[in-house]
């Protein structure tokens, strides 16, 4: 059961703000100021602006945390409060932490590396390297609240945090924890920004998933946390339930490091496996929160995959990509999109794919262009596909 | 546990031997895999040594045309995976590829390519940056490349959990098998010791170096003075019981229990390690004796002593306290050294010996367990307790039986 949510993104630094942006179709894609982007064809992304760590952390604490760790802690704090979990300085062996991560402390490691390479007068501070490991975010969340149950950090690039939520649910099911703090955090770094640019998969304009004019993705950053809780434990506490986590799949395409298998067979397998594991029939699915990065190839293959998995029914399921608003948050993308999917179920709306204008012959489904729809949503699939051919699909359903 | 899980194959690319047989002999002989690094220039650093994998020829495992595109971690992981599958007598086919999965612990995988790509970003123009380097900057590069090269289409994940990365990956693999999400999972860990990694550890003063007592990995010895970095890939094949029976193969051993937990607070680390051990032993009768403990001791002051105190807490009487050794004395420390240790455990269960902690000369009153030192002991081992300790506050414990 999902009993708490926390989010920190370019379109909302809290769940209410995030939900409002999704409902209004407000995008957060704008100039990048985090590092110098003058070298690159694209200069925009969904960077989190006006972020002052001092608003959230004491200076002594924030210095030891990477930007990703800070985002993770902020989102975790909101989710833990939302779920009314008592974290009173007592150890909690019944609560575990499983996060997906990406760049971790890469941003400050880049500063170190640059100073080293350019032989700048100021010697690089080794402490810039301390929070480098992606698992450090999991460690700090677990430590701050004394959550000493099971622990794991999934690092499968763009599907990391989706898998982290699925694995967290497994850990509860297997009786290793009553409550799991799951989700993920990731930040932009020059490495990923430049890397995707050299692969020519970044749109110089804000991304337009599934649109005929699409030229690539817009990067993003942020954190999203969901509180997963065993049903009886949640009922015993009398806490409100947002939705039920039904099941997931995580499979390998075994095809190519960066390109999806072109017929969509492999991605459709992820969706079918997830539905099978969740005992959900294709005709029960009300909405698909797409991976929808906005690259010409990805959106075409994902569309094909949805058709393979759903047949004729594909044409009547709304499919949207919130990456058009929040950017591609990489290691955090799966969790950000899971939170969006849970909000869809809890508040009865489907967020739009913004910037969608021109229909593409290859992408001919209902992509919920530009405006959100107010309608009851019972069952949602959320797709996350990654480098290395990792495909994860989550299934969420209204609890009643 | 709801489903019996067995180890049916191992594949090892290590600094003490490439392939299971050389690795086995290395463990028995107490071979020292640590030596002066000549793969890159160590002049700027006080530390000079590492457990580098040598004598590994990727061409024996991967078509030459593909090698060029792969980073070193991916090459080692592919080789170890091939060896492990062969050892288990398994081949990935069009019919079993969906029930075969892979979950590896990644020790700084992607870092070498990240450094090379970022160097291009800092020093060059956009057109001078090499897009070929970027795909393998992700931590899951090695896992992804193995799945592509071997055609593994089932469960696919990569885990990083500080020094317990391989333990976390193996535990996730056990959970996936127990949940019936796969019949067979290749798991373990891969670590690449690159120049940038050595530089970073050196800058953070985390490495042992020669200030009187030598630059030596000597867990539990009073003169130990820090870790020495290693590298390598070790893959173990985990398989569900019914699948093993159907194939009629002889497994190395069985997973009897496991646990991975976070830290209550740093001052209670010893108690938390004990909690992990207790949870891992939970499924087995209390009176069941443990024949050997695969130690996490890594030649640092803190970890080795913490481990000794935790083991004493878990086994209060001298009589029942099992012998302990750390093979990190031979290969050094890395985030995913747990994979290498698990492969060693499989051999220990099958071959009946306990590998030594080498370079051990002077006891430390803070580490006063029954350590097997300097020479292997020939002895039937029916149960192994494998402990993972990460100073980041993660403690893992896996119990194996023959």
CA dihedral A363→A366→A368→A373, nearest 10 degrees, is: -170
> pLDDT (tens digit, 9 = 90+) per residue, B270-282?
999 999 999 999 8
The average pLDDT across A358-378 equals 97
How confident is the model at residue B27, as a pLDDT? 98
User: Please, which pLDDT band fits residue B264 given cuts at 50, 70 and 90?
Assistant: confident
Task: Provide the shortest C-alpha distance from residue B288 to chain A (in Å).
Answer: 23
**Average pLDDT of the segment spanning B135-139:** 96
User: Is B125 touching A (CB cutoff 8 A)?
Assistant: yes
Report whether B125 contacts A39 (CB < 8 A): yes
Report whether pLDDT(B2) > 60: no
Q: Is residue A121 pLDDT above 80, yes or no?
A: no
Check whether B1 has a pLDDT greater than 70. Answer: no
Catalytic member of A328, A329, A363, A391: A328
pTM of the model: 0.97
If you search the block for the tokens 């029942």, which residue do you land on? Answer: B320
Query: What integer is the mean pLDDT of A48-66?
Result: 94
Indicate if A158 belongs to the active site: yes
Tell me: pLDDT of A283 over 80.
yes
- B207-261 residue pLDDT tens: 987 777 889 999 999 999 999 999 999 999 999 999 999 999 999 999 999 999 9
What is the percent of chain B where pLDDT is above 90? 92
Q: What is the mean pLDDT of residues A112-131?
A: 89
Confidence of residue A122 (pLDDT cuts 50, 70, 90): confident
* Domain ranges for chain A: 2-397
- DSSP per residue, A151-200: EEEE--GGGHHHHHHHHHHHHHHTTS-SEEEEEEEE---HHHHHHHHHTT
Section A115-139 average pLDDT: 90
Tell me the average pLDDT across A127-152: 94
- Residue B259, both tokens: 């646990």
Q: What residue ranges do the domains of chain B occupy? A: 5-247, 254-401
Q: Which of A98, A291, A329, A391 is an active site residue?
A: A291
Contact across the interface for A151 and B138, Cβ inside 8 Å:
no
For the B5-247 domain, the top CATH level (class) is alpha beta
All residues of chain B having their beta carbon less than 8 Å from the beta carbon of residue A255 are 148
pLDDT at residue B286 tops 70: no
The whole-angstrom separation of Cα A162 and Cα A100 is: 7
Known catalytic membership, residue A256: no
When pLDDT is cut at 50, 70 and 90, the band that residue B3 belongs to is confident
pLDDT digits (tens, 9 = 90+) for B175-195: 999 999 999 999 999 999 999
How far apart are the C-alpha atoms of A200 and A141, rounded to whole Å?
36
Instruction: Looking at the structure, give the CATH architecture of the domain made up of residues B254-401.
Output: 3-Layer(aba) Sandwich (3.40)
- Chosen for mutation from A174, A254, A274, A278 (greatest number of chain B CBs closer than 10 Å) is A254
In SS3 terms, chain B reads as CCCCEEEEEEEEEECCEECHHHHHHHHHHCCCCCEECCCCCCCCCCCCEEECCCCCCHHHCCCHHHHCCCCHHHHHHHHHHHHHHHHHCCCCCCCCHHHEEEEEEEECCCHHHHHHHHHHHHHCCHHHCCHHHCHHHCCCHHHHHHHHHHCCCCEEEEECECECHHHHHHHHHHHHHHCCCCCEEEEEEEECCCHHHHHHHHHCCCECCCCCCCCCCCCCECCCCCECEECEEEEEEEEEHHHHHHHCCCCCEEEEEEEEEECCCHHHHHHHHHHHHHHHHCCCCCCCCCCEEECCCCCCHHHHHHHHHHHHHHCCCHHHCCCEECCHHHHCECCCHHHHHHHHHHHHHHHCEECCECCCCCEECCECCCECECCCEECCCCEEEEEEEECCCEEEEEEEEC
Its ipTM equals: 0.97
- pLDDT by residue (tens digit) across A75-113? 999 999 999 999 877 899 999 999 999 999 999 999 999
What is the SS3 assignment for A2? strand
Closest CA to A152 of B341, A160, A388: A160
Show the tokens assigned to A37: 């982007």
pLDDT of B47 > 50? The answer is yes
B161–A171 CB contact, under 8 Å: no
| Mean pLDDT computed over A49-72 | 95
**Burial classification of residue A265, based on how many CB atoms lie within 10 Å of its CB (0-12 exposed, 13-18 middle, 19 or more buried):** middle
**Choices 3.40.47.10, 2.60.40.10, 2.40.160.10, 3.20.20.70: CATH for A2-397:** 3.40.47.10
Domains B5-247 and B254-401 share a fold: yes
Which token pair is B144?
């992804």
Please state, for a pLDDT cut of 90, what percent of chain A lies above it. Answer: 95
């Amino acid at each position: 059961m999902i009993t708490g949510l926390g989010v920190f993104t370019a379109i909302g630094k809290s769940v209410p703000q995030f939900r409002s942006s999704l409902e209004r179709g407000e995008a957060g894609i704008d100039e990048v100021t985090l590092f110098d982007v003058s070298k690159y064809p694209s200069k925009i992304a969904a960077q989190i602006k006006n972020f002052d760590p001092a608003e959230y952390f004491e200076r002594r604490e924030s210095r030891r945390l990477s930007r990703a760790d800070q985002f993770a802690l902020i989102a975790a704090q909101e989710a833990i409060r939302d779920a009314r979990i008592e974290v009173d300085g007592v150890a909690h062996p019944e609560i575990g932490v499983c996060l997906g991560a990406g760049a971790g402390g890469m941003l400050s490691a880049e500063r170190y590396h640059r100073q080293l390479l350019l032989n700048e007068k100021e010697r690089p501070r080794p402490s810039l390297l301390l929070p480098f490991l992606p698992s450090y975010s999991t460690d700090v969340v677990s430590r701050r609240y004394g959550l000493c149950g099971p622990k794991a950090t999934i690092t499968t690039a763009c599907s990391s945090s989706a898998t982290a939520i699925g694995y967290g649910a497994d850990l509860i099911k297997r009786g290793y924890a009553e409550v799991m703090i799951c989700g993920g955090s990731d930040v932009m770094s020059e490495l990923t920004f430049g890397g995707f640019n050299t692969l020519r998969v970044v749109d110089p304009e804000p991304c337009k998933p599934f649109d005929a004019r699409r030229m690539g993705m817009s990067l993003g950053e942020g954190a999203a946390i969901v509180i997963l809780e065993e049903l009886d434990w949640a009922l015993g506490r009398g806490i409100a339930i947002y939705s039920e986590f039904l099941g997931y799949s995580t499979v390998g395409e075994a095809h190519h490091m960066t390109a999806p298998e072109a017929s969509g067979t492999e991605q459709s397998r992820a969706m079918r496996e997830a539905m099978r594991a969740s005992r959900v029939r294709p005709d029960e699915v009300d909405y698909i929160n797409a991976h929808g990065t906005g690259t010409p190839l990805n959106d075409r293959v994902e569309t094909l995959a949805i058709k393979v998995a759903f047949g004729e029914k594909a044409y009547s399921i709304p499919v949207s990509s919130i990456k058009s608003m929040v950017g591609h948050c990489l290691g955090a993308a799966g969790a950000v999109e899971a939170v969006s999917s849970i909000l869809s179920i809890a508040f009865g709306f489907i967020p739009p794919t913004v910037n969608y204008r021109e229909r593409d012959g290859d992408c001919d489904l209902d992509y919920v262009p530009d405006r959100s729809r107010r309608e009851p949503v019972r069952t949602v699939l959320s797709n996350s596909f990654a480098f290395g051919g990792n495909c994860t699909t989550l299934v969420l359903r209204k609890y009643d | 546990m709801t489903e019996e899980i067995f180890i049916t194959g191992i594949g090892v690319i290590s600094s003490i031997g490439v392939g299971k047989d050389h690795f086995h002999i290395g463990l028995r002989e107490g071979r020292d895999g640590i030596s002066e690094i000549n793969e890159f220039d160590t002049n700027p650093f006080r530390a000079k040594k590492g457990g580098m994998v040598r004598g590994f020829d990727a061409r024996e495992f991967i078509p030459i045309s593909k090698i060029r595109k792969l980073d070193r971690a991916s090459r080692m992981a592919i080789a170890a995976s091939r060896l492990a599958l062969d050892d288990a007598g398994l081949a990935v086919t069009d019919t079993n590829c969906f029930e075969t999965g892979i979950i590896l612990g990644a020790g700084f995988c992607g870092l070498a390519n990240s450094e090379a790509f970022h160097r291009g970003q800092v020093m060059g123009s956009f057109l001078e940056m090499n897009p070929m380097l970027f795909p393998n900057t992700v931590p899951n590069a090695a896992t992804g490349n193995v799945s592509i090269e071997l055609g593994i289409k089932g469960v696919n994940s990569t885990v990083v959990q500080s020094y317990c990365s391989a333990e976390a990956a193996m535990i996730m693999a056990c959970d996936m098998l127990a949940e019936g999400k796969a019949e067979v999972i290749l798991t373990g860990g891969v670590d690449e010791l690159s120049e940038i990694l050595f530089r970073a550890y050196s800058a953070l003063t985390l490495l042992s170096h020669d200030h009187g007592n030598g630059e030596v990995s000597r867990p539990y010895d009073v003169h130990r003075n820090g870790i020495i970095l290693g590298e390598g890939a070790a893959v173990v094949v985990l398989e569900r019981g019914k699948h093993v029976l159907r194939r009629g193969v002889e497994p190395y051993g069985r997973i009897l229990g496991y646990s991975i937990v976070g830290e209550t607070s740093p001052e209670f680390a010893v108690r938390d390690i004990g909690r992990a051990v207790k949870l891992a032993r939970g499924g087995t009768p209390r009176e069941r004796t443990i024949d050997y403990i695969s130690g996490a001791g890594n030649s640092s002051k803190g970890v080795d002593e913490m481990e000794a105190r935790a083991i004493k807490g878990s086994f209060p009487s001298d009589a029942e306290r099992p012998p302990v050794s750390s093979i990190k004395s031979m290969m050094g420390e890395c985030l995913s050294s747990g994979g290498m240790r698990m492969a060693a455990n499989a051999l220990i269960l099958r071959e009946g010996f306990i590998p030594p902690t080498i370079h051990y000369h002077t006891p430390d009153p803070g580490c006063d367990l029954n350590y097997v030192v300097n020479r292997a002991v020939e002895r039937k081992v029916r149960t192994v307790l494998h402990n993972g300790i990460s100073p980041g506050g993660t403690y893992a414990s896996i119990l194996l039986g023959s």
